A and B are shown apart, each in its own frame.
Chain A
Amino acid sequence: MSLKRAALLLLLGGAVIPAIAQQIELPVGNAPAADRTPPADGAARPSIDESALRYFASQGDTRRLEAEIARLRALYPDWSPPADLFGPQSDPDLERMWKLYAEGKLSDVRSAIAARQASDPSWQPPAELLARLDESENRRRLINASDAQQWSTVLRMATETPGLLTCSNVDILWRVGEAFAKTNQMQRSLDAYTYLLTNCNDAAERLATIQKALPLLDDEQVKQLLALERKDAQGQPEFTSIRDELIRRRVGRAAENPEFVASSDDIARLETLARAGNTPGDPLLLGWYLFRHDEASRALDWFKLALDRQGGAKAAEGYVLALNSLGRALEGEPIAFQWRDAAPENGKAYLDVVISLLTAAPPPVLSETVLTRFSPVVMRDKYVPGAQALGWYAYNTGQLVVAQAWFQTALSWDPNDEPSSYGLALTYWRLNDAARLNALVQSWRGRSERIVALVDANLRAQLEARNLQGQINRTTNPLVAAALRVTPPPANAGAPGTGLAYTAGQPPTGFQPVPTQQFQPVPAQLAPAQTAQAAPVRRAYAQPATYRQPAPAAANRPRSASGDTARGSGGGAAALSRGWRLMELNRPIEAVTAFDEAIRTGSGRIAEEAAYGKSLAYMRKGMTNQAQVAAIEAPQSPRRAMQLTADLLAQRAYEFYKDQRYVEAIISLDERARISPEQQDLMMMRGWSYFNIRDYQSAERIFRALAAQGNTDAMNGVSEIEFARRLYKRE
């Protein structure tokens, strides 16, 4: 029998007792340990213990008998098995102990030895029996310690009983390998697995060895282990399946941490596996990897597949997040809602999706369902960002009373939520509620610049200057972004009661984001008095050059509704084309009626077209508030919704300007500028608006910029400013 030197045990010893420097003979195969050195001279040699041999013989256990004979021969080359091996045992008591040992009743053996020693103090148990007992007890203790994650004990047991560390005890070797890894002795851990793969031959155990090592070792170390791969009986590499596992691991890690990138080979292989399989695991893994590496569109397909394969909550979460990130939150919302209670992440995904819908710019058209099922969740969880988002949605769709209610609700849960307070302050400002605005501003003095800026002209100017320098922090938090999009009103808005009469805040009749039946957070008495119709500020100096009404591009856009109407239902489609005809005849009020009918009787694209038409009709009449309400009566495609909103805002800015309500004109232009670039005519309107509120600095900046491009109106503006300044100096 050949004994093989193994460095593992040296390392083992060194790990716990560095003083141990000798190597230990380690047997291969199934032979038990042989750490007892044969004595050099025969005279000192103890009598050879044959009791185990006789016990195995008496039991007819030939496998163990042969192993024991081999072991004794290795230890004592001169020894040969006794002739009377199968004769009666000379010591029935000892035979009983071996029997108990063979049955695994270790405590009974210990007890029997102690009992015999108590009655016969001169009796010594066979050393071999004690060694076997120690080994078996330490084996159990090692397993118990490993199960209890007591790694030092595991290593101590292994060191005390190196005979355990053989291929017949691969489980022990695995546990030792794990204990090394868990105590940060990675090289020794690698040594343990290397030893196993070098010496042990069982195919299933070899494969399991790699699987055990995978979660503990790094890629480089696993690569070293894979180098020990052998060919199976069919000549196939034995670790093929592991290589796929490794790919999953690499991609998985890169999915967790976007700083890691998986190779295209890995992704390609995983895609093949994902398509070939029928489980959700691989598609899910791909989904997360691609999603976290900014490929939401590809990720979406894999999440979809995972979801179809019963991938459960994680698949739903990924699917929803991918849709959200693709700007398709509206599609994601129903799935998000369905899975919202499956796991905390799903609840979060649902909230994220709805919040991103609510805070989108321009505000999208949301169905009653989306809102009615969101607000109870917000109320139940007293979810401040949710209430705040509902506030912004209401604000951005001109429903100021509702916005006020939601912002107040958010603040009732968290009085220190600055964005909600900001929203509420803006709402008060637009509602012309100077008393409440001032009270709110007082409570935020020293805590929020932008809230204070609503009534503080100087601070307002500073903030604006900063904004112009592009110092607004870009952020991915949709709530913060929503709040940032709402620019504070210009400097002289500080006294809302004197100069502002903003009527856009009337809640629209057709649509309420606050579900009135299940939940009514707006107490009736909160409805603000909208009657203060203060006169616009009059300037003493002449109104500068005439301002040509900007023609919203969409209003003049030729219709191409034929393809859409063809698919529509009869009544709706007919009403829709009637509406467009009336528009061509410039009879917008009648067109509104026709479009209304189309909205009522048509569906899908018909209703969308009709809503669009209706808002154009109102715009034609200069009824921008009605136009905005009309625009959201049916879902619009994102691109059209954007265009429509931009047109509406431009129209509204013009209405304000015409009424000499310059501050509000600027606000409308600000809102519009966030979704669409500002053309020269609108910039001119902005410039004159600033001029009229005596913000010459802002006006001059704009005029000079336009004048530099050869705009003659702008050059007039510059000279007007110079004139006005001289005028004021004289004053």
Chain B
Amino acid sequence: MRRALLARLGASLIAFATLLALGAGGATPLKAQTMANTVPIEAWNAYMQHFVAENGRVVDTANGDISHSEGQGYGMLLAFLAGDRSNFERIWSFTRTELMIRDDGLAAWRWDPNATPHVTDVNAASDGDILIAYALARAGISWSNPAYTDAARKIARALGAKLVVKSGDRLVLLPGVQGFSVEDRKDGPILNLSYWIFEAFPLFVQLAPETDWARLGVSGLELLSIARLGPAQLPPDWIAAPARGPVTVADGFPPVFGYNSLRIFLYLLRAGIEDSQILESFRRSWLAENGGVPAIVDIPTGRVVNQLTEPGYRMLGALLACALDRTAIPQDLRRFEPTLYYPSTLFLLSWAVLVEKYPRCL
């Protein structure tokens, strides 16, 4: 059983290990990745105008205009991918001043403009920290800014120390410092597989080598192959993954493949992992059953709860069709029109991976 699983995992693990090996330079300094900007500056400017306040705050417009560490990380990553040093610095300044206040060196995850004090939940969210550290690490290399690299290192170390934990044979990424671990929850650890941002791990290997990021990535891929639940065989947003025992939908969370999980395949493609079994599930749900459009799916019944037709979400479908079937990106998706923060972010990240890895579809 276990062997069969590993055999199936094999291909993607090898790909991932290769990726890590490429990134890992041992004691050698980080190499600058010479790369043209993969997010067009006009699109980025439009994003800035809609979702980034003057003080560098990335605003979640669908969520009461709050901000969070994830949004700040996305903003910094997109600014980097657009080559916008000025606004990268703007967003980082806000992030550092307002969110990087935790004693353990991680970011507080939630910031509300209508609350005093603004930080309304000081808990960390590991995807936010990964995005921030990853954006800093890449900016530090590309723009030769040791202060960025230094900040990235501190966050990566804190992540490794606080949020990467052993769970039986696995090394897992806790979604936050409080509330998810096996100590906090009977069915713990509670995990979110869309927090594994695989493309960051090769850089973290160099920044914080005391943590086994490669093994963390392997555990993530293994869990992805296990967590295809329900008739639709899709990974729920939140899973309970006890060290011993089956992976299930986490109690107290909506039992859906939803806004979290739909970005998993984007992260896989961005990390260059194209042959994970999980992509097949995405293909069946989005391309075969929903006409190329991502959908929120109820895990127990496999029924579609909601089809997502905003350009940012359709872009995810188009990217999947491109990666799996070499389908060209439809004309109406070749222009960026900001809608809401989250789909707009996914649109630009998808665009960046198309430019970088699938120019044939453009």
Chain A residues with CB under 8 Å of chain B are: 105-108, 110-115, 117-118, 137, 140-141, 144-145, 147-153
Known: A117-B85, A141-B100, A151-B103. A110 touches B119 (CB 8 A): no
Beyond the given pairs A111-B56, A153-B103, 5 more chain A to chain B contacts, judged by CB atoms under 8 angstroms and listed by A's residue number, are: A107-B90, A108-B90, A115-B86, A144-B117, A153-B101
A147 touches B88 (CB 8 A): no
Shortest distance between the CB of B24 and any CB in chain A (Å): 30
Enumerate chain A residues within 8 angstroms of B103, measured Cβ to Cβ.
145, 150-153
22 contacts between A and B (CB under 8 A): A105-B54, A105-B55, A107-B56, A108-B54, A110-B89, A110-B90, A114-B85, A114-B88, A114-B89, A115-B85, A140-B97, A141-B96, A141-B97, A141-B100, A144-B97, A144-B98, A145-B101, A147-B117, A148-B102, A148-B108, A149-B122, A150-B103
Nearest first, the 4 A-B pairs at minimum CB distance are: A115-B86, A147-B117, A114-B89, A111-B90
A111 & B86 in contact (Cβ 8 Å cutoff): yes
- Distance between A12 CB and nearest chain B CB, rounded to angstroms: 16
Type the 1/0 row for B25-66, where 1 means its CB is closer than 8 Å to any CB of A: 000000000000000000000000000001110000000000
Alpha-carbon gap, A110 to B86, bound state (A): 8
Q: Which residue of A lies closest to B87 (CB)?
A: A111
Residues of B in contact, count (CB < 8 Å) = 25
Contacts of A137 in B (CB 8 A): 93, 96-97
Interface flag for B94 (CB, 8 Å) = yes
Given A111-B89, A114-B86, A144-B117, A150-B97 contact (CB < 8 Å): no
Complex Cα distance, B55 from A113, in Å, reads 14
List the B side residues contacting A113 at CB < 8 Å: 89
Known A117-B85, A144-B119, A147-B119; contact A111-B101, beta-carbon cutoff 8 A: no
- Across the interface, which residues of A come within 8 angstroms of B122, CB to CB? 148-150
Complex interface: chain B residues within 8 A of A114 (CB): 85-86, 88-90
Q: Give the complex CA separation of A111 and B84 in angstroms.
A: 10
Measured between beta carbons, the chain A residues less than 8 angstroms from B55 are 105-108
| Complex-state Cα separation, A108 to B57, whole angstroms | 12
Among residues of B, the one whose C-beta sits closest to the C-beta of A149 is: B122
A107, A137, A140, A147 — which one has the most chain B CB atoms within 10 A of its CB? A107
Residues of chain B from 207 to 244 with CB closer than 8 A to chain A in the complex:
none
Does A106 contact B119, Cβ atoms closer than 8 Å?
no
Q: Which residue of B lies closest to A113 (CB)?
A: B89
A151 to B101, CA, bound (A): 9
Question: Chain B residues with Cβ under 8 A from A106's Cβ?
Answer: 55, 93, 97
**Contacts of B100 on A, CB cut-off 8 Å?**
141
Q: How far is the CB of B262 from chain A (nearest CB, A)?
A: 31
Beta-carbon nearest neighbor of B100 in chain A: A141
In the complex, which residues of chain A have a beta carbon less than 8 angstroms from the beta carbon of B92?
110
Complexed CA–CA distance, A141 and B119 (Å): 12
Report Cα–Cα, A148/B97, bound state, in Å. Answer: 13
Given A137-B97, A144-B101, A153-B102, verify A118-B117 contact (CB < 8 Å).
Answer: no
Chain B contacts of A150 at CB under 8 A? 101-103, 122
Residue-wise, chain B 99-125 has the 8 Å CB interface mask toward A (1 for contact) of 011110000100000000111001000
Residues from chain B with a CB closer than 8 A to the CB of A107 are 54-56, 89-91, 93-94
Counting chain A CB atoms within 10 Å of each CB, the highest count among B88, B90, B96 belongs to: B90
Residues of A within 8 A of B102 (CB): 145, 148, 150, 153
Q: Chain A nearest CB: distance from B98 CB in Å?
A: 6
Residues of chain A within 8 A (CB-CB) of B117 are 144, 147-148
CA distance A361 to B41 in the complex (A): 89
B139 CB to closest chain A CB (Å) equals 10
B37 to chain A, nearest CB (A): 13
Instruction: Name which residue of chain A comes closest to B91, CB basis.
Output: A107
Instruction: Give Cα A39 to B89, complex, Å.
Output: 32
Specify which chain B residues have a CB less than 8 angstroms from the CB of A108 in the assembled complex: 54-55, 90
Residues on B with beta carbons closer than 8 Å to the beta carbon of A151: 103
A149 to B108, CA, bound (A): 12
- A182 CB to closest chain B CB (Å) equals 11
CB atoms of A112 and B97 under 8 A apart = no
- State A149–B101 Cα separation when bound (angstroms): 9
A121 nearest CB neighbor, chain B only = B144
A113 to B86, CA, bound (A): 8
Q: Given the complex, which residues of B lie within 8 Å of A148, measured CB to CB?
A: 101-102, 108, 117, 119, 122
In angstroms, how far is the closest chain A Cβ from the Cβ of B49? 14
Minimum C-beta distance from A102 to chain B (A) = 16
Q: Is the CB of A141 within 8 A of B101?
A: yes
Which residues from chain B contact A117 at a C-beta distance below 8 Å?
Answer: 85
Specify which chain B residues have a CB less than 8 angstroms from the CB of A145 in the assembled complex: 101-103
- How far apart are A537's CB and chain B's nearest CB, in angstroms? 63
Residues of B within 8 A of A144 (CB): 97-98, 101, 117-119
Residue numbers in B under 8 Å from A115 (CB-CB): 85-86
Residue of A nearest to B144 (CB): A121
Known: A144-B119, A148-B117, A150-B122. Contact between A118 and B90, CB under 8 A?
no
List which B244-287 residues lie within 8 A (CB) of chain A.
none
User: Which residue from chain B places its CB closest to the CB of A111 in the assembled complex?
Assistant: B90
Residues of A within 8 A of B119 (CB): 144, 147-148
- B275 → A minimal CB distance (Å): 39
> What residues on A are CB-neighbors of B88 within 8 Å?
114
Alpha-carbon separation in the docked complex, A145 to B106 (Å): 12
Tell me, rounded to whole Å, the shortest Cβ–Cβ distance linking A107 to chain B.
4
Rounded to whole Å, the gap between the CB of A160 and the closest CB of chain B is: 12
Q: Name the residue in A105, A117, A145 with the highest tally of chain B Cβ atoms < 10 Å from its Cβ.
A: A145
CA distance A112 to B56 in the complex (A): 12
On chain A, the residues within 8 Å of B56 by CB distance are: 107, 110-111
Within 8 A of A (CB), among B115-167: 117-119, 122
Give the complex CA separation of A110 and B98 in angstroms: 15
Q: What is the CB-to-nearest-CB distance from A142 to chain B, in angstroms, rounded to a whole number?
A: 9
Instruction: Give the distance to chain A from B189, nearest Cβ to Cβ, in Å.
Output: 24
Cα–Cα, bound, A94→B85 (Å):
18
Query: A110 to chain B: which residues have CB within 8 Å?
Result: 56, 89-90, 92-93
Among B56, B92, B96, B103, residue most surrounded by chain A Cβ atoms (within 10 Å): B103
**Chain B residues, CB < 8 A from A118:** 85-86
Partner of A111, one of B93, B96, B97, B98: B93
A141 contacts which chain B residues (CB < 8 A)? 96-98, 100-101
- Closest Cβ of chain B to A468, distance in Å, is 53
Question: Chain A: which residue is nearest B99 at the CB level?
Answer: A144
Residues of A close to B98: CB separation below 8 A: 140-141, 144
Q: Which of B172-214 contact A (CB under 8 A)?
A: none
Cα–Cα, bound, A437→B188 (Å)? 51
Residues 68-88 of B at the A interface (beta carbon under 8 Å): 85-88
Determine the residue in chain A with the shortest Cβ distance to B83: A118
Find chain B residues with CB under 8 A from A152 CB.
103
Q: Which residue, of B87, B101, B103, B118, has the highest number of chain A Cβ atoms within 10 A?
A: B101
Interface positions, chain B 273-318, Cβ under 8 Å from A, are none
Q: Complex Cα distance A140/B97, Å?
A: 6
In the complex, A144 Cα to B122 Cα: how many Å? 10
Residue ID in chain A nearest B116 by CB atoms: A147
Q: Find chain A residues with CB under 8 A from B87 CB.
A: 111
Q: Which residues of A contact B118 (CB under 8 A)?
A: 144
CB closest residue in chain A, given B52: A107
CB neighbours of B97 from chain A (8 A): 106, 137, 140-141, 144
- The complex places the Cα of A189 from the Cα of B119 at a distance, in Å, of 25
Chain A residues with Cβ below 8 Å from B93 are 106-107, 110-111, 137
